[in-house]
Amino acid sequence: MGRVNRSFVLVIFIVLFTEFCIAQDQDIKQTLENNGNFTRFLQILRKAQLDQEFAGSRTKLTLFAFQNSAYDQLSLERRRKIDQLSQIDAQTFIRAHTMFKREFQLDNINGAYLEDKSMNGRPLYFSKKTESNFNFQGTFGATLYYVNGAQINNHYKNKYCRNGYLHGLLDVMHVPIADSAYMYLSQDNKDGVNEPTRLFKKLVDSLTLSYYDPVLAMQKIDTTLTLFVPSDKAMSKIPSTYRDRLEREEETLYKVVYAHIIPGQAVFTEPTVHNHGFRDGYPAGSNTKDNRVIIRKPNLDHVYVNSLRVTAEITNGNLTCRNGVVHIIDKLLGYVFYSVREEISKYARQFDQIINRANPDIVKGLTEQSQTTVFVPTDEAFQNIANLPWIDLNTMNQNITNMN
């Protein structure tokens, strides 16, 4: 019986070793073709007419290729943009995913963060994090790797080929633009993300030479930063009178613009853990508590950023540029222009009607005082309780009136 078991183990070893040797003899192109999960990426490779560059063993390369499942998760607009790439754009796309004359393994990432370059000089920002899971034996979790915010498949990483390494991606990377974050502001369509940001650029450009430091930070290509940019849709929610006032109050505008910057690092949404804080771009020596940029991820579907007491949602993130990464957000950070009462009147009209009958001191406090926190039931909340048989809104409103 023991002899049979030993023979069986030997056969299994021979089969696995043979498959391993065959795999090592394949080049990157053959590995992509034989896998079956990279057909969408191969279409771009062939459109670029670069597929033969990944064949043979003459030049060592490292390729980051998205898998079909990553393409399927894209919005219709981004899929259409990828499908309609010209030959030149397809070449830019492939080269931005390739490291030339490099055999890059993920073990090269010693710390949590590493910067490198692709074969066309576009930035590659590598990061990693360890998932935290808990049981009675302690903390455990897999190490996850990312490049430009796209997660690398742990089951298809460091794939050795005859001419280099292949890493499968679970997300489609945004192709980094060759310009700075500042130049990104004037581009209406950012790699399939059609969200103009010209109103924020206009605000930034209104800074005079004495307050120009944050603009220079966006323009420098020899340093790295993270920039949060409110879309034109977000900026248009601010009445023009308030925007004009902010442009005139240059010291305030200076702080507001810096509230949108994390210097020295490209911070992507996926690798960042919930409630992680970063120092904003405002010069050192200021109040460190107030000058924190905090990334919040309360669930898998939404990512938020908080800076100078304003929280905004990241509507389109991980847009890589030559000197960092840009995230499009739905609010201007650091600038509060409505009072508590004005916010209530805009978004909770039924509760606002109750306030109208409240004590004048309460109304004044909601309009004039600072550092006020109010928990406001929405109109939908009132509608939900109105359907309950034991709730009489008329009686409740009368009781509130009598309390005054």
Q: Is 238 exposed, middle or buried (0-12, 13-18, 19+ CB in 10 A)?
A: buried
- Contact predicate 276/294, CB 8 Å: yes
Q: Would the CA dihedral through 35, 41, 45, 47 be positive or negative? A: positive
- Per-residue confidence (pLDDT) for residue 369, from 0 to 100: 57
The closest alpha carbon to 310, from 346, 256, 273, belongs to: 256
3-class SS at 103?
A: coil
3-class SS at 265?
A: coil
The closest alpha carbon to 314, from 301, 303, 326, 298, belongs to: 303
d(CA 85, CA 92): 10
- Per-residue confidence (pLDDT) for residue 15, from 0 to 100: 38
d(CA 268, CA 266): 6
Token pair recorded at residue 66: 């998205």
d(CA 145, CA 156): 11
| Residue 397 φ/ψ, nearest 5 degrees | -65, -40
2-169 and 181-329 in the same fold: yes
Token pair recorded at residue 340: 């508590």
- Taking only the tens of pLDDT, the chain with its 404 residues reads 555 455 544 444 443 334 444 445 899 999 999 999 999 999 999 999 999 999 987 889 999 999 999 999 998 989 999 999 999 999 999 999 999 999 999 988 887 789 999 999 999 999 998 876 655 555 567 899 999 999 999 999 999 999 999 999 999 999 988 889 999 887 765 555 567 889 999 999 999 988 999 999 999 988 999 999 999 999 998 988 989 999 999 999 999 999 999 999 999 999 888 888 898 888 765 554 567 899 999 887 899 999 988 999 999 999 999 999 999 999 999 988 766 666 777 677 777 777 777 777 776 666 665 667 778 888 788 777 777 776 666 666 655 555 45
The closest alpha carbon to 345, from 337, 353, 335, 357, belongs to: 353
Fold of 2-169: FAS1 domain (2.30.180)
CATH of region 181-329: 2.30.180.10
Token pair recorded at residue 185: 């502001």
pTM score, whole prediction? 0.79
Domain boundaries, the chain: 2-169, 181-329, 340-403
Query: Residue 157 carries which DSSP code?
Result: -
- Per-residue confidence (pLDDT) for residue 24, from 0 to 100: 57
Q: CA-CA-CA-CA torsion for 23, 26, 30, 33, nearest 10 degrees? A: 0
